[in-house]
Chains A and B, each alone.
Chain A
Amino acid sequence: MSEAQARVERELIQSAKRGDLRAFNRLVELYQDALYYTAYRILGDGDSAADTTQEAFISAYKHLKDYRDGSFKAWLLRIVTNACYDYVRARKRRPADSLEDMLNSDEEREPPDFVDSREGPEEHAARAELHRLLQHGISQLPDDQRIVLVLADVQGLSYEEIASATQTNLGTVKSRLNRARLRLRDWLLERQEHLPEQFRLSSERL
């Protein structure tokens, strides 16, 4: 973020803290993609991600006074992460629509990807298949590991930011992320035959 953008953001936050809803909504527009995308990767489906994102912004508006300084984006991501935790817990209490069912249902697809012009339709289909499988692999991680993996490798947050977002310490982040990546790798290795050929973790590639 440039210096000018940072200043604009600070001003928007100040106005929003004074109760200016329009200023707050401009912040929503700045960060809704990041929040939705995070929730989407953690929860694995679009409807839940949309619900959680909306809830997170409402909660952010309610608790805006508690935001002091530091990265506003990281603060928002913490809120959406908490909302995801709540959502996952609630879903566990309703085993009827478990994650597995949702992922196996026909409706669940990776959202349409922009077709790279240099990429043929076959390659595009292979890439889409890879992403579907990856999302499935991420979804089967334990909650704690999945959230850390998404924040680190999808959102690119630093270890410090993840520790703050998940209210843990650096050591916990470090070990959870490592276990998450190892587990996801093993999961993918077990499904090599489902992976499009060009994405397999073959020994010659490594």
Chain B
Amino acid sequence: MSNAKHITDQLSAYLDNQLSASERSRVAQHLRACAACQRDLASLQYTQRLVAAMPAVRAPRSFTLSPETAAHTLPRWQSSWGYRALQGMTALAVLLLVVVVGADVFAVNRSSNSATRASAPQIASAPTLAAAAQAADSATNESKASTSAPAGALAATTAPQQPSQPTSAAAAPTSAPTLAATPTIPTTRSPIVASASVSSTPTSTASPTAVPTNTRAPTATATNVPTAVPTTAPTRTAIPAESVPSTSAPNTFDLHPIELSLLALALLGVSALVIMRVTLR
């Protein structure tokens, strides 16, 4: 035992050739002089060889995944009955909301000339709502949906706030009359004032104040006047502001309780799904 300290704790690394050159030579030097450490090394090596020589055990059966097993690799709560039901009902609520709002807008359009302008943005907004529903729905089928789900939810929640008139009306019932009244703004200044359906100008009675307050009005006129030339222009101009007071307001774009509750359901469902996704990982 020339080197006072045994090198027992280095023996495995020495055997496995995991020592640096200097450590290795130090261990080798000690081993030459120390019989106890030599015995330790030999017995360790023997043990290691016994273990390594143990017979390999083959898998007793195949561990391949069946399509069913693979499908169930989603977190358990995601494949649960409750989650799926919530998913389906939310999609249904969004779908019904789109249908009902669409029908409503259509009805308003039919009876109110002033509302025809609204139909253009409405058509654009309907797909976004549907897409949001789809996104929220399909996102759940992806494993890394935690990133995509919020995106879908974002689409769903922002959709009602997009500048499309029917949906923003739905989101904020109080602003509905003023929004519907926006068509009156260009007509007052419009040079093509024709005398068409006077009956359909109830909205302006609802809010004469709408003219100054509605911030959307300028942009609406800016975009719509030049582009929607042939078809909308005549109908739009059919609302002379002067003729307004004569009629009452049967056609205001007000929100039906069914729409309101559907919207609430859809928003509730989407936010619940998103919260589940984010929190239950």
Contacts and interface: CB of A to CB of B under 8 A. Distances in A.
Interface stretch (B67-75, B115-123, B214-222, B234-242): B67-75
Contacts of B189: none
A174 B44 CA distance: 14
Interface string A158-179: 0100000000000000110110
A5 to B, nearest CB: 19
B46 A130 contact: no
Nearest to A50: B60
Contacts of A125: none
Nearest to A21: B70
Contacts of B42: 206
Given A65-B144, A154-B51, A206 B59 contact: no
B47 A32 contact: no
A139 interface: no
A50 to B, nearest CB: 6
Interface stretch (A33-41, A67-75, A88-96, A100-108): A33-41
A138 B69 CA distance: 33
Contact of A58 (B43, B48, B57, B65): B65
A53 interface: yes
Given A174-B12, A181-B12, A182-B44, A154 B52 contact: yes
Given A40-B57, A131-B54, A178 B65 contact: no
Interface of B is mostly: helix
Nearest to B10: A178
A58 B39 CA distance: 45
A46 B9 CA distance: 33
A28 B44 CA distance: 34
B18 A174 contact: yes
A50 B70 CA distance: 18
A131 B52 contact: no
A54 B59 CA distance: 11
Interface in B5-58: 8-13, 16, 18, 39-40, 42-44, 46-48, 50-52, 54-58
Which are the 3 A-B pairs with shortest beta-carbon distances? A178-B12, A25-B64, A36-B59
Interface of A: 21, 24-25, 28-29, 32-33, 35-37, 40-41, 46, 50, 53-54, 57-58, 61-62, 65, 110-111, 113-114, 130-131, 134-135, 138, 149, 152-154, 156, 159, 174-175, 177-178, 181-182, 184-185, 188-189, 199, 201, 203, 205-206
Given A177-B16, A184-B47, 18 more contacts: A28-B62, A28-B63, A33-B56, A33-B58, A36-B58, A41-B54, A50-B60, A54-B63, A57-B65, A110-B55, A135-B54, A153-B52, A178-B9, A181-B48, A182-B8, A182-B40, A185-B44, A206-B39
